[in-house]
Chains A and B, each alone.
Chain A
Amino acid sequence: MPRPYLAHLGVFDILHNTRVNGPGRRNLLVVRGCTIKCPGCANRSTHRPAEKLTTVLEVATRLLEGYPDGITISGGEPFEQLPAIALLCYMLRYKRRDLSIILYTGLEVGDAVRARDALASDNLMGLEVDVIFHGPYKKDLRITDKEREGLCLPVGSRNQGALLLSDRHSLLELMTRNVSEVHVNSDGSAVSTGFPNTQEEAE
């Protein structure tokens, strides 16, 4: 199996024009591969590493299609492909300085910051994102349907938080209610995304 490296990414899917994965109209990258494997994870089908990798350039090109307000990077675990993710963000920002970038990780905030700093000190580029939603999903702390009736962060469990790395978004702007989307393609296939009541993928 090929190992992800700087210029390639393991991609599970790319979804265009989603409105439930951060502020505005966003394109969503779902990376493949996660070794954290939180019990009760909603996205277990993304855990297996990719058998085929995609060039970062191709991913960037697809993510910029349709002139979105922002990009959200989810998974899988993006930090397990951090050099390639950093390169992707650099490319996206090179093309569009105004682009909002949000990244999800299952790492605790301290580990995420250390990984980002280590990347920079290795003389590679920094991680140019506006917001990191961090923390492993914890089944027993799942945000309930009732709690989502008010505004809350777009995360799965109460231990997860947001690290703001720029002044592009305020915490209030990132807050959301119980929202989800189903995108039905012309071939009859469909994608469901967002923060619905049923957080866990069927066993």
Chain B
Amino acid sequence: MSTYVKMKTGPKMTNRDMVVEALKRTGVPAEEIQVGDDLQLSGYQGASRAAHILVSKRFHNGYGDFGFVAEEGAYTMIVDDLDDKRSLSRRTGCAGQYSGYVSQWYTALEAQRVLRLDGFSTEVKKEADKVVVMAMR
């Protein structure tokens, strides 16, 4: 039999560069992604909070900016609920919530990283609602 291993959840987002790359893969242009330690994310009705990765609401014409804050070694997404379900999904063309789309890409990039460490050459592609990482030696 070929191996068949199911993973119920994706990995924690611990790698900043890979979070940024996942955002790019979902369709956010590189110039829209700010990375830094003192970024301020402006949410619905001007609510503000610190973030380490930030995309302005200009990108998706939404209620607020979205981004990620580093907490206990992992990046947590901060996004307005309606933006997550509507404007960001619409802007990037993903089927469900945008936050799920980012974690889908992060998982794929993490799988690619691990397979490359194992000596495989890899190819990542989007197929319908899945992201598939092909690996071969």
Residues of A in contact with B (beta carbons under 8 Å apart): 12-13, 15, 17, 19-21, 28, 30, 41-43, 45-46, 72, 74-75, 104, 106, 137, 145, 148-149, 154, 156, 177-197, 199, 201
Contact = CB atoms under 8 A, between A and B. Distances in A.
A193 B2 contact: yes
Instruction: Sort chain B's interface into a size bin.
Output: 35 or more
B5 A186 contact: no
B129 A185 contact: yes
A164 B124 CA distance: 33
Main secondary structure of the interface of B (DSSP, over half): mixed
Interface stretch (B36-44, B48-56, B70-78, B99-107): B99-107
A182 B108 contact: yes
A181 B7 contact: no
Contacts of A154: 2
A105 to B, nearest CB: 9
A183 B104 CA distance: 10
Contacts of B95: 186
B7 A201 contact: no
A197 B129 contact: no
Interface string B77-121: 000000000000000001110001101110110010001001010
Contacts, number: 132
Nearest to A12: B4
A17 B108 CA distance: 16
B134 A189 contact: no
Contact of A180 (B103, B128, B135): B135
B131 A177 contact: no
Interface of B: 1-10, 94-96, 100-101, 103-105, 107-108, 111, 115, 118, 120, 127-137
A182 B133 contact: yes
Contacts of A149: 137
A197 B120 CA distance: 10
A42 B136 contact: no
Given A191-B5, A194-B2, A19 B137 contact: no
B99 to A, nearest CB: 10
B132 A188 contact: no
A38 to B, nearest CB: 9
Nearest to A194: B2
Nearest to B129: A186
Contacts of A189: 6-10
Given A149-B137, A186-B104, A191-B6, A17 B118 contact: no
Contacts of B1: 41-43, 74-75, 104, 106, 137, 156
B132 to A, nearest CB: 5
Contacts of B7: 189-192
Given A192-B3, A192-B5, A183 B132 contact: yes
Contacts of A185: 104, 129-130
A105 B118 CA distance: 29
Contacts of B9: 188-189
